Amino acid sequence: MRCPQCKGLEDKVVDSRLAEDGLAIRRRRECLECGGRFTTFERAEPAGLRVLKRSGESEPYDRSKVVGGLMKACKNRPVSEADIERLADEIEEHLREGGRKEVPSPEVGLSILDRLRDVDEVAYIRFASVYRDFQELTDFEKEVGLLLDKRTPPKQLQKD
């Protein structure tokens, strides 16, 4: 592991503890060359999940792309990094259900949208605008309308 400050290769582990509900190990390290401290995370790498792109190409699933998309959508919103990590875990879990080895890329985007809707509606609209390639103001209006319809409970008929 290279030190982020001096790029040295020699370090020692100062502290280790479980993280992410036991799914990862957080290690505090100290560089033996410059004395700088940094944190690393160790996770078990599950069997390779692949994403089938619209072009027909298949590429390895990249969790960092999901986290990056969530971070952009949630920028300046009241959503913590821990919430984003939890969402990314839920999305990956959903995609791996049933032992699938390959998922279509639209399913990844829809899984992100489904979870963002419940976490932060503004982040949901931001992500939807990019994912669904909004071109006009009416695209936003329609999506906000759908969001409001799902949020508002249906009016009940009153009997007189």
Look at residue 13 in the predicted model and tell me its pLDDT: 95
Integer-rounded Cα Rg, in Å, for the chain is 21
Same domain? For 22 and 98 the reply is no
Average pLDDT score, the chain: 87
Q: Is 55 in the same domain as 121?
A: yes
Residue 27's domain comprises 7-44
Domain-located, residue 155:
no
> Average pLDDT in the 61-76 region?
93
DSSP character for 47? S
Q: What is the pLDDT of residue 54?
A: 87
pLDDT-derived band of residue 1, with 50, 70 and 90 as boundaries?
confident
Q: How far is CA 95 from the centre of its chain?
A: 12
Q: Are residues 40 and 59 in the same domain?
A: no
CA distance 135 to 129: 8
Q: What are the pLDDT digits (tens) for 114-159?
A: 899 889 989 988 988 887 788 888 877 888 888 877 765 545 544 5
Residue 151: its pLDDT value, please?
67
Q: How many domains does the chain have?
A: 2
Does residue 118 form part of some domain? Answer: yes
- Average pLDDT on 50-74 reads 93
Q: How confident is the model at residue 46 (pLDDT cuts 50, 70, 90)?
A: low
Residue 1 lies in a domain: no
Q: How far is Cα of residue 30 from the mean position of the Cα atoms in its chain?
A: 29
154 within domain boundaries: no
Signed CA dihedral, 69, 122, 94, 41: sign only: positive
Task: Please compute the mean of the pLDDT values over residues 48-54 and round it to a whole number.
Answer: 90
Instruction: Looking at the structure, tell me whether residues 53 and 95 fall in a common domain.
Output: yes
Helix, strand, coil percentages (3-state) for the chain, rounded to 5, are: 45, 20, 35
Do 55 and 111 share a domain, yes or no? yes
Q: What pLDDT is attached to residue 160?
A: 47
Residues above pLDDT 70, as percent of the chain = 92
- Of residues 65 and 139, the one with the higher pLDDT is 65
User: Does 65 share its domain with 125?
Assistant: yes
Give tens-digit pLDDT for 76-101.
Answer: 999 999 999 999 999 998 998 878 88
Q: Angle of helix 137-151 relative to helix 121-131, nearest 10 degrees?
A: 140
Cα separations in angstroms, 123 against 54, 113, 117, 130, 143: 24, 9, 8, 11, 13
Whether residue 126 is found in the same domain as residue 143: yes
pLDDT band, residue 20 (cuts 50/70/90): confident
Does residue 91 sit in the same domain as residue 139?
yes
> Do 17 and 94 fall within a single domain?
no
